[in-house]
Structure 1
Amino acid sequence: MGSLLSVNVGVFRPLSATSTGRTGIDKRPVDGPVALAAPEAGLSGVAGDSIGEPEVHGGPDKAVYAYAREDLDFWDPSFGNGVFGENLTTSGVDVNGAEIGERWGIGSAVLEVCAPRTPCRTFAAWLGREKWVKTFTDAGRTGAYLRVITPGSVSTGDEVRVLSRPGHGMSVADVFSAMMKQPEMLPRLLELDALAGDLRGFVAARLKGR
């Protein structure tokens, strides 16, 4: 059983790499319980969090982003919690190995794993690392987007409980690999009922274009 090391929310920062000239990727740990809710399009599911590009971030299927402290340490042990723009920094949770549709109980909230994170120019510009998109893609340590099934509040130190697992065996890492490296796996993604809607559209378009 894992735990929540921190809950992180972002404030707007200027960043020319974005379509709006600002970003909410700079997320910092906050004290006290933080409410999670199922948001409308372009909004975060985390109370007090900012979304800099609402056309591509936030919304029901990207309500909450989780990343493991173990993966941050893989990149750089000096990285602080929230530096990858994650809302939840976990410990002892196999975030990349979580199945699509797996449900977590954290505090009084229930969340459902629905997508890997796909690196973008905002992420690369924020970290300022050369060839970051390729480096991040090659490593496959993407973290997971989650939708809010049951609204509630979460706090630092809460247990992360796996409440259910679909059993189809397709993990966050598998979905990312199918999208980026193994197109022969794409048809399997359409079998995942809990897959984020935008990814389902991406897969359908890719298969139609073959």
Structure 2
Amino acid sequence: MGKLLSLNLGRARASAHTDIGRTAIDKRPARGSVAVAAPGPRGTAGSSGSGIAGDEVCDHRFHGGDDQAVYAYGREELDLWQRELGRELANGVFGENLTTLGVATSDALIGERWRIGPQVVLEVCATRIPCRTFAGWLEERGWMKRFTQRALPGAYLRVITPGEITAGDEVTVLSRPDHALTSGMVFRALTLEPDLLPLLLDVRELGAHQREHAAQRLRR
């Protein structure tokens, strides 16, 4: 059993590091309870993009939607980066909605289900791939290469049961599938270890965009 240390929301702000000129990667801890619900498929009319009420998604071409409804990153992993970079990293600084403690995020199995608080159930379904917005936001030289080599991507989750959550809620792993594919393995397959790509094709819980991307790369 783990803990939700903070629930983080982002508002759109101007950015020179994104094609559309704005980003909501700057996420800050929210106060009180916040509603969680499936936002709908990526890019559909009326979809907020985020599964967290009050959280914005700016570039709907590549972010948001049901398979990227909620992004989680472990405080343990932030602490590792904090020591390596020699700077303080606050909860939410990686653009994560959920900063957790005592919960495997990068090592979470695709299809693993978490209950947060008394109501909400989420399912791990995709990995994070770093982009230039992330690099520009952190202002660390060679950041995309460093992040990729470390292969600690956190995890994206879809909403199975909506409800409300708040900082301090318990996070319980309800179930795990019988395969071994983790968010970190998906990340490695899609970046530096293409030999792992075949493992992505048969895991139905993996988000369609990343499963299809793996299939396209294998066809090439």
Task: Measure the CA separation in 2 of the matches of 1:153 and 1:206.
Answer: 39
37-46 or 62-71, larger mean C-alpha shift: 37-46
| Residue number in structure 2 paired with 1:57 | 63
Output aligned runs, 1:9-28, within 5 Å: 9-28=9-28
Task: Name the residue aligned to 2:46.
Answer: none
Listed as ranges, the matches of 1:128-139 within 5 Å are 128-139=139-150
1:162 aligns with 2:168: no
1:171 to 166, 182, 191: 182
Are positions 1:81 and 2:87 aligned together?
no
CA-CA distance at 1:55 after TM superposition? 1.1
Which residue identity does 1:100 align to in structure 2?
I
- Work out whether 1:115 is the aligned partner of 2:126: yes
- C-alpha separation in 2, matches of 1:126 and 1:157: 27
**TM score, norm. by length of structure 2:** 0.93
Q: Corresponding residue for 2:156? A: 145
* Distance in 2 separating the partners of 1:184 and 1:25: 31
Task: Report the TM-score, using the length of structure 1 for normalisation.
Answer: 0.97
* 1:18-59 Cα shifts (integer Å, max 9, x gaps): 121000000000111111100022411100001121111110
Separation (CA, whole Å) in 2 of partners of 1:173 and 1:23 = 25
Q: Which residue of structure 2 aligns with residue 196 of structure 1?
A: 207
Letter in 2 for 1:82: G
Amino acid across the alignment from 2:50: S
Question: What is the rounded CA distance, in whole Å, between the counterparts of 1:128 and 1:52 in structure 2?
Answer: 20
Q: Distance in 2 between matches of 1:60 and 1:206?
A: 23
Structure 2 match to 1:38: 38
- C-alpha distance in 1 between matches for 2:136 and 2:111: 31
CA separation in 2, counterparts of 1:129 and 1:149? 36
Which of 117, 131, 137 lines up with 1:126 in the alignment?
137
Q: CA deviation at 1:181?
A: 2.0
Amino acid at match of 2:21: G
Name the structure 1 match of 2:112. Answer: 102
Alignment RMSD: 0.9
Output the CA distance in 1 between the equivalents of 2:191 and 2:73. 19
Q: Distance in 2 between matches of 1:179 and 1:2?
A: 28
Q: Give, in whole Å, the separation in 2 of the partners of 1:65 and 1:181.
A: 22
Q: Which runs of 4+ in 1 moved over 3 A?
A: none
Count of aligned positions: 209
